[in-house]
Chains A and B, each alone.
Chain A
């Protein structure tokens, strides 16, 4: 590795669900303010790896992690790391839009409210900036006090991104964020990724090869719990080093 400062790094990472060895000796370093895509067939460990990056697997019985994950050089599984503090730094967006059954406004400011921030002015400001960042402000500014569940699927997903942005993380993890959306909503989210990487480090899991090619700067290919190949997206899609990668991205298996 060069002397470059990486935002997120995994070193000799192994993860287990009970006796199942889900991630095998992963070593990877992701650059700051770039989009990294994780690709690979179902069950290859890419989502598991994504969820170790903000410790979302902590609550799963029998889940165990060995090795280090470094965020800005600090091990996030160290004893003195508080999970809630970590998640303020590393936000997450899920596969299916999962807005809370509350108003649009309440959704956006939830992360702030649980931090004890009650100042109406601050909340209003953050809500507006976050919604503007996800290009949702003009669509929902008159519906802030309406239920978030009344929005369309694509709007809901952008609301979930806005909600994650509201607590100003530096990393955003996205677990197949467009797989439940129609092509137009998908395009809007991809466009958004392009703008967001100015300020955020983004890690996205996707099943859609074209999407990985379009939105990411670097791509990691996982297979059976192993990281097979990790390189610049352009390099991977034009001249993959491994045959497996080649087969997967050309659609011969997966």
Chain B
């Protein structure tokens, strides 16, 4: 083999190795999905979505769980959205580059890395006990809101950073104040990125079971929650509860519930991708 043939061979070889590496993750996911679909798809029907939990597997449904999940989604985004965006704006636009700023920055990155069960303990102590909210939806939403806050702050900062200096200059030069510049130029231009981050953060929150178990979200809640102060359960906890039972039939329920949970997650991710594309088309520098 000549040198150039060898080079071409190496090139091809690496290409195939790369494809192989990429496929590993996808194939595992595909096998898992197919498995779940075979086990659970037949179990999903109107009753499964509308029934309350029960000791008998074939009568048990996920009504309280998915209602709880929606509640948690809405409440925690209401909490984390404004807080995270405001904090991101402050750090990026107003924060001076000093010791305090780097201290804050390091700690926000740290927060993003704290195991979720620790957030659960924090929520249990602060929101559940000190604030006296108990095992309510509000406690859960506050806890998850806190959990996704660092992610939202970081993505907000990234999105804001991507808005070019020249746009701010133009706005300032026309007599705009800092706030006007942020409100009329920076935020609209970075909103797609921010929203994408928020939705991805939410899709993480949807899958969390550990912190909610700690604060006392129960698998057996006989009624769907009607206010933020009610007790609740969510899909991941329902899944966790069912899988720990010995009866075979509950495994089918688990598969079905996983399909619903995945659907919600994929839907959120889909919305995120859609928004990102839509905004990117609108804003080009």
Contacts and interface: CB of A to CB of B under 8 A. Distances in A.
Do A and B come together as binding partners?
A: yes
Interface of A: 54, 56, 59, 61, 84-85, 87-88, 91-92, 94, 96, 98-101, 110-111, 113-115, 147, 149, 160, 163-164, 167
Interface in B257-285: 282-285
A87 B174 contact: yes
B59 to A, nearest CB: 56
B118 interface: no
B171 A84 contact: no
B166 A94 contact: yes
Interface in B187-213: 188-189
Contact of A160 (B96, B170, B188): B170
Contacts of B170: 94, 98-100, 160, 163
Contacts of A113: 184
Contact of A167 (B97, B166, B174, B189): B174
A87 B173 contact: yes
B118 to A, nearest CB: 36
B227 interface: no
A91 B282 CA distance: 28
A92 B173 contact: yes
Most chain A Cβ neighbours within 10 Å, of B166, B175, B176: B175
A94 B168 CA distance: 12
Contact of B175 (A59, A88, A98, A100): A88
A87 to B, nearest CB: 4
Contact of A164 (B173, B282, B284): B173
6 contacts: A99-B170, A101-B189, A101-B283, A110-B184, A115-B175, A160-B170
Contacts of A115: 175
B176 A114 contact: yes
B102 interface: no
A240 B13 CA distance: 69
B177 interface: yes
A56 B172 contact: yes
B105 interface: no
Nearest to A101: B283
Given A61-B96, A96-B166, A98-B166, A114 B173 contact: no
Given A100-B167, A101-B189, A114 B175 contact: yes
Contacts of B176: 84, 110-111, 114
Nearest to B189: A101
Nearest to A160: B170
B7 interface: no
B175 A111 contact: yes
B47 interface: no
Contact of A54 (B166, B173, B185, B283): B173
B76 to A, nearest CB: 31
B180 interface: yes
A84 B175 CA distance: 4
A83 to B, nearest CB: 8
Given A87-B173, A149-B284, A100 B166 contact: no
Given A56-B173, A59-B172, A84-B176, 7 more contacts: A87-B172, A96-B166, A98-B170, A101-B283, A114-B184, A160-B170, A164-B173
B166 A111 contact: no
B169 interface: yes
B173 A91 contact: yes
Contacts of B282: 101, 147
